[in-house]
Amino acid sequence: MTQQEIINYLIKRKNPVTLNELSDNLKINKTNVSRACRQLEKNKEIKVNKVKQGPFIRFMIVIKHTSERR
């Protein structure tokens, strides 16, 4: 259920989102969001970009277009 909620949010948003933003807006625990994102990335449904900001790394999550999923 969490994976489908993440996909729906990313389709609605159409911009890269962070892990914290997903957990805040969907009211889901951050670890559950992280697990769902790893599974979706493994299935090639989403793309996770690592953006370094100083000593921290932010994970930007974007849905893949249908042409990129192949």
Q: Is the pLDDT of residue 68 over 70?
A: no
Of the two residues 26 and 66, the one the predictor is more confident about is: 26
Q: Is the pLDDT of residue 70 over 60?
A: no
CATH number assigned to the domain covering 2-63: 1.10.10.10
Task: Provide the whole-model pTM.
Answer: 0.81
Domain residue ranges of the chain, discontinuous segments joined by +: 2-63
Whether residue 69 is predicted with pLDDT greater than 60 in this model: the reply is no
User: 3-28 burial by CB neighbour count: b if 16+ within 10 A, else e?
Assistant: bebbeebbeeeeebbebeebbeebeb
The mean pLDDT of 48-57, rounded to a whole number, is 91
User: Residue 39's pLDDT band (boundaries 50, 70, 90)?
Assistant: very high
Query: What are the beta bridge partners of residue 50?
Result: 59
